[in-house]
Structure 1
Amino acid sequence: MPEVSSPVYHRLHHHRRFVIWGFLSRIFSMSIIPASVLRNLADKLDEKRKNAAYEVGVIVKQFAQAGEHEKIAAVINLLAIEFTCSPQPNHKKGGLLALAAATLALSSEASRHLEEIGPLVINSFIDQDSRVRYFACEALYNIAMVVRGEINVFFNQIFDALCMLSADSDLNVRSAAHLLDRLMRDIVTDSHEISIEEFIPLLRERLNVINPYVRLSLLNWITVLDNVAGIDMLRFLPDFLDGLFNMLSDSSHDIREQAGTLISGFLQGMMNSKNVDFGRVAEILVRRATSSNSFSRQISIKWIDELLKVGGNQLVSYYADILGAILLCISDIEEEVRVVARETNEELWAICSDPAEKFDVGAILSVAMTKLATKFVATRLESLHWIQRLLACHHSEAMTYLNDIFDSLLRTLADPSDEVVLLALEVHACMAKVTQQFQHLVVSLISTFRSNHILLEKRSALIVPRLCVLLDAERVYREFSQILEGEKDLSFASNMVQALNLVLLTSSELTDLRNLLKKSLMDPAGKDLFLCLYSSWCHSPMGIISLCLLAQAYHHASAVIQTLAEEDMNVKFLMQLDKLISLLEAPVFTHLRLQLLDPSRCAWLLMTLYGLLNLLPQQSAAFKILKTRLKTIPPHTLSDDQLKREGKIVNDINFESRLQEFKNMQNRHRMHSRSSCTNSGQFHQPRLRQSRRASRVHFK
Structure 2
Amino acid sequence: MNVLNPYVRQFLVGWITVLDSVPDIDMLGFLPDFLDGLFNMLSDSSHEIRQQADAALSEFLQEIKNSPNVDYGRMAEILVRRAGSPDEFTRLTSITWINEFVKLGGEQLVPYYADILGAILPCISDEEEKIRVVARETNEELRAIKADQAEGFDIGAILVIAKRELNSEHEATRIEALHWFSTLLVRGRAEFSAYLDGIFEPLLNALSDPSDAVVLLVLEVHARIAEEYHHFQHLMSYLIHTFHNNHVLLEKRGALIVRRLCVLLGAEKVYREFSTILQTEGDLDFASTMVQALNLILLTSTELAELRSLLKKSLVDTCGKDLFLSLYASWCHSPMATISLCLLAQAYNHASSVIQSLGEEDINVKFLVQLDKLIRLLETPVFAYLRLQLLEPGKHTWLLKTLYGLLMLLPQQSAAFKILRTRLKTVPFSENLKRTSSANPYSQILQVTEDGNRNQDAPNYSAIDFSSRLQQFGSMQQQHRNHLKNQLQSRKSASAAVLSQVLFCLHSRS
- TM norm. shorter chain > 0.5: yes
Assess if the C-alpha contact under 8 Å between 2:147 and 2:153 holds in 1. Answer: no
From 445, 448, 461, the counterpart of 1:641:
448
The separation in 1 between residues aligned to 2:198 and 2:47, in whole angstroms, is: 47
Residue matched to 1:654: 465
The separation in 2 between residues aligned to 1:666 and 1:212, in whole angstroms, is: 83
The structural deviation recorded for 1:669 is 1.2
Decide whether aligned partners of structure 1 residues 223 and 493 sit closer, same or farther in structure 2, where only a CA change above 3 A counts.
same
Residue matched to 2:291: 497
Decide whether aligned partners of structure 1 residues 241 and 625 sit closer, same or farther in structure 2, where only a CA change above 3 A counts.
same
Map residues 89-488 of structure 1 onto 2, 5 A cutoff. 207-209=1-3, 211-273=5-67, 276-352=70-146, 354=148, 356-488=150-282
Query: Match of 1:383, as an amino acid?
Result: A
Residue matched to 1:573: 367
The separation in 2 between residues aligned to 1:550 and 1:382, in whole angstroms, is: 42
The separation in 2 between residues aligned to 1:352 and 1:342, in whole angstroms, is: 18
The separation in 1 between residues aligned to 2:332 and 2:491, in whole angstroms, is: 26
Assess if the C-alpha contact under 8 Å between 2:354 and 2:470 holds in 1. Answer: yes
Assess if the C-alpha contact under 8 Å between 1:319 and 1:364 holds in 2. Answer: yes
Residue matched to 1:138: none
Assess if the C-alpha contact under 8 Å between 2:110 and 2:147 holds in 1. Answer: no
Cα deviation, 1:78-131, whole Å, max 9, x if unaligned, reads xxxxxxxxxxxxxxxxxxxxxxxxxxxxxxxxxxxxxxxxxxxxxxxxxxxxxx
Query: Match of 1:432, as an amino acid?
Result: A
Decide whether aligned partners of structure 1 residues 271 and 530 sit closer, same or farther in structure 2, where only a CA change above 3 A counts.
same
Q: Is the deviation greater in 532-541 or in 668-677?
A: 668-677
Query: Match of 2:43, as an amino acid?
Result: S
Decide whether aligned partners of structure 1 residues 483 and 367 sit closer, same or farther in structure 2, where only a CA change above 3 A counts.
same
Residue matched to 2:301: 507
The structural deviation recorded for 1:427 is 0.5
The separation in 2 between residues aligned to 1:304 and 1:537, in whole angstroms, is: 57
Cα deviation, 1:215-258, whole Å, max 9, x if unaligned, reads 33332222223334544332232223122222222343333222
Map residues 25-104 of structure 1 onto 2, 5 A cutoff. none
Query: Match of 1:674, as an amino acid?
Result: K
The structural deviation recorded for 1:510 is 0.8
Residue matched to 2:328: 534
Residue matched to 2:400: 606
Assess if the C-alpha contact under 8 Å between 1:481 and 1:536 holds in 2. Answer: yes
Residue matched to 2:507: none
The separation in 2 between residues aligned to 1:339 and 1:504, in whole angstroms, is: 42
The structural deviation recorded for 1:291 is 2.1
The structural deviation recorded for 1:398 is 0.3
Assess if the C-alpha contact under 8 Å between 2:2 and 2:41 holds in 1. Answer: no
Cα deviation, 1:263-283, whole Å, max 9, x if unaligned, reads 222233234446643212111
Does residue 594 of structure 1 match 2:401?
A: no
Aligned residues: 478
TM-score (normalizing by structure 2): 0.89
Percent same amino acid among aligned pairs?
Answer: 64
SS at match of 2:153: coil
Cα deviation, 1:479-512, whole Å, max 9, x if unaligned, reads 1111111111211111111111111111111111
Which segments of 5 or more consecutive residues in structure 1 lack a partner in the other structure?
A: 1-206, 685-700
Decide whether aligned partners of structure 1 residues 508 and 226 sit closer, same or farther in structure 2, where only a CA change above 3 A counts.
same
Decide whether aligned partners of structure 1 residues 673 and 258 sit closer, same or farther in structure 2, where only a CA change above 3 A counts.
farther
Assess if the C-alpha contact under 8 Å between 1:599 and 1:633 holds in 2. Answer: yes
The separation in 1 between residues aligned to 2:397 and 2:70, in whole angstroms, is: 87
From 459, 466, 475, the counterpart of 1:664:
475
The separation in 1 between residues aligned to 2:487 and 2:22, in whole angstroms, is: 86
Decide whether aligned partners of structure 1 residues 615 and 349 sit closer, same or farther in structure 2, where only a CA change above 3 A counts.
same
The structural deviation recorded for 1:346 is 1.9
Residue matched to 1:674: 485
The separation in 2 between residues aligned to 1:408 and 1:300, in whole angstroms, is: 30
The separation in 1 between residues aligned to 2:397 and 2:43, in whole angstroms, is: 82
Decide whether aligned partners of structure 1 residues 251 and 569 sit closer, same or farther in structure 2, where only a CA change above 3 A counts.
farther
Query: Match of 1:340, as an amino acid?
Result: V
The separation in 1 between residues aligned to 2:378 and 2:84, in whole angstroms, is: 56
Decide whether aligned partners of structure 1 residues 210 and 449 sit closer, same or farther in structure 2, where only a CA change above 3 A counts.
farther
Tell which structure's C-alpha radius of gyration is larger: 1
Which segments of 5 or more consecutive residues in structure 2 lack a partner in the other structure?
A: 435-443, 496-510
The separation in 2 between residues aligned to 1:372 and 1:213, in whole angstroms, is: 45
The structural deviation recorded for 1:614 is 2.0
Residue matched to 1:41: none
SS at match of 1:483: helix
The separation in 1 between residues aligned to 2:247 and 2:4, in whole angstroms, is: 55
Decide whether aligned partners of structure 1 residues 463 and 609 sit closer, same or farther in structure 2, where only a CA change above 3 A counts.
same
The separation in 1 between residues aligned to 2:132 and 2:278, in whole angstroms, is: 45
The separation in 1 between residues aligned to 2:147 and 2:484, in whole angstroms, is: 56
The separation in 2 between residues aligned to 1:219 and 1:577, in whole angstroms, is: 80
Decide whether aligned partners of structure 1 residues 567 and 682 sit closer, same or farther in structure 2, where only a CA change above 3 A counts.
farther
Decide whether aligned partners of structure 1 residues 343 and 431 sit closer, same or farther in structure 2, where only a CA change above 3 A counts.
same
Query: Match of 1:380, as an amino acid?
Result: R
Cα deviation, 1:350-379, whole Å, max 9, x if unaligned, reads 224556432111111111111111122221
Identify which of structures 1 and 2 has the higher relative contact order when contacts are C-alpha pairs closer than 8 Å and 6+ apart.
2
The structural deviation recorded for 1:393 is 1.0
Query: Match of 2:142, as an amino acid?
Result: L
The structural deviation recorded for 1:529 is 0.6
Query: Match of 1:658, as an amino acid?
Result: R
Assess if the C-alpha contact under 8 Å between 2:226 and 2:235 holds in 1. Answer: yes
Does residue 517 of structure 1 match 2:328?
A: no
Assess if the C-alpha contact under 8 Å between 1:244 and 1:263 holds in 2. Answer: yes
Query: Match of 1:576, as an amino acid?
Result: Q
The separation in 2 between residues aligned to 1:517 and 1:315, in whole angstroms, is: 56
Assess if the C-alpha contact under 8 Å between 1:320 and 1:363 holds in 2. Answer: yes
The structural deviation recorded for 1:210 is 6.5
The separation in 2 between residues aligned to 1:554 and 1:315, in whole angstroms, is: 68
The separation in 2 between residues aligned to 1:210 and 1:669, in whole angstroms, is: 78
From 632, 644, 656, the counterpart of 2:426:
632
Residue matched to 1:622: 416
Q: CA RMSD, aligned part only?
A: 2.1
Query: Match of 2:167, as an amino acid?
Result: A
